[in-house]
Amino acid sequence: MFFAAYADESYDLDLGVYILTASLVDLTEAETIRTTLGGLRKGGQKLHWSKEPDLRREELAKVASAFRSISLATVGTALPMNAERARRKCLEAVLPEIEAAGTNMLVMESRQVRNDKLDKQTLAVCKRKRVISTKVHIEFMPGSTDALLWLPDIVCGAALAAYRGDERHLEQLSSAAIVIEVDAS
């Protein structure tokens, strides 16, 4: 099997929670996931957990749990929270995990050139520290470009809901999502 990782984030600064999820997608299933998630989009350019009503979130979690993919939800916690520091800590934790799972490519939703550059700097630091090999690389694209970016959005949303006290959706994802906690202070 050949894998690629697709990543998205969600956060609640007041709660002190930043989640960066990397979904490991078996490339033989990629088109099925794209088609399925694309069919669930209702208006707009992309499917987005935070804009969906609760019943729809239940449906999204159910659909995501049916794929063979595994999502690594890296959760950084700190109060007060610096979002960029938390993102960096989460990225530092998830990069070796995706490489250990057999992929060297991480596709991330672009957050503008300036912010993408910060992620590339984190990648370079991880390589210099030999936390990951030089083969690992990151590509950026708009969230509306590839429905595979919506899979980690679903998992991020379910994980954030759990940290807010509603664990139903994360439980629904069960073995399709693994939570990795990191100190983001």
Q: How many CA atoms lie within 13 A of 78 on its CB side?
A: 17
Q: What is the pLDDT of residues 71-115, one digit of tens each?
A: 999 999 999 999 999 999 999 999 999 999 999 999 999 999 999
Tell me: cis bond preceding 80? Omega within 30 of 0 counts: yes
Spatial CA neighbour of 13 closest among 73, 107, 85: 85
pLDDT at 8: 97
Q: What is the pLDDT of residues 143-181, one digit of tens each?
A: 999 999 999 999 999 999 999 999 999 999 988 999 999
Share of the chain above pLDDT 70, in %: 99
Tokens describing residue 85: 């520091």
Domain boundaries, the chain: 3-183
In the block, residue with structure tokens 């088109």: 31
Query: Residue 177: helix, strand or coil by DSSP?
Result: strand
Start-to-end C-alpha separation, the chain: 37
pLDDT at 1: 63
pLDDT at 2: 77
Q: What is the pLDDT of residues 20-75, one digit of tens each?
A: 999 999 999 999 999 999 999 887 788 999 999 999 999 999 999 999 999 999 99
pLDDT at 44: 72
Q: How many CA atoms lie within 13 A of 90 on its CB side?
A: 30
pLDDT at 45: 81
Query: Is 3.40.50.300 the CATH classification of the domain at 3-183?
Result: no
